[in-house]
Each structure stands twice: as structure tokens, then as C-alpha cells.
Amino acid sequence: MELLTLPARQLSSYGSSGAELLRAALVQDPQDGFAVDVVRLAPGGSIGRHPTRLWQLFLVVSGNGWVSGAEGERRPVTAGAAALWAPGEDHASGSDDGLTAVVVQCHARPLTAT
């Protein structure tokens, strides 16, 4: 077994603020393969509106915040909730109190429709 420390980097693209990304898995690069990231949003943090290239699953594991999709409407999310954005869909996320989410990006839809 190996214990790993994931390198973190601040996200500033798309007008994001208070957002930190920890790369957990990557095959090739996110545009051509599969990626798993951990996103930490500080209180008041956000990831600015931008289109996704692949299917993107945003699973909140702690805290609470909001997500928006193509329509731009902010919808609340709490730990255990997930948002799924389709390839090309404009989306954004943020949190007043802070949150941590696991983000999975892939070519195939990661969950079946409910």
C-alpha cells in the first residue's frame, strides 16, 4: 500500500474564486479520457460558468452549496446530492458555507437516468 498526498492547485479560470482542485485520477487527459478530481470550495467560493467537454458528475461529499446547468437556475445541493452535466452544457457551482465535491469526467454517461 502507498499513502499519497494529492497535489492541490487553485482554480482561477472562468472567474472562479475560492476553489481548489485535487487531481485524484487521470487517464490521458480530461478531454480524451477519464478523470476524477476533488474540488474544495471555500465559504463564498465558486466555479465560474463554463461548458463541460465530457459528461461531468459533481457529487457533494460534505458541506452545501448550489449548482446550475444550461438554464442558469441555481439549485441547492447538500452532502450526498449530485449534479450531472451533459457534454457541452454550460454550468457553474458555488457555496456560501463551503463544500467538498468529487468530480468524475468521462465520455460515457456515468449514471443511468432516474
Where the chain has pLDDT below 70, the residues are 3, 26-31, 113-114
pTM of the predicted model as reported, rounded to 2 decimal places: 0.85
At 50 the pLDDT is 96
C-alpha cell at 36: 476524477
At 27 the pLDDT is 65
Give me the phi and psi of 110, to 5 degrees please.
Answer: -80, -20
- Number of neighbours of residue 83 by Cβ within 10 angstroms: 19
pLDDT per residue as tens digits for the range 6-23: 788 898 999 999 999 887
| 82 Cβ contact partners less than 8 Å away, ≥ 6 residues apart | 57, 58, 59, 60, 111
Options 3.40.50.1860, 2.60.34.10, 3.90.1170.30, 2.60.120.10; CATH for 17-106 is 2.60.120.10
At 60 the pLDDT is 96
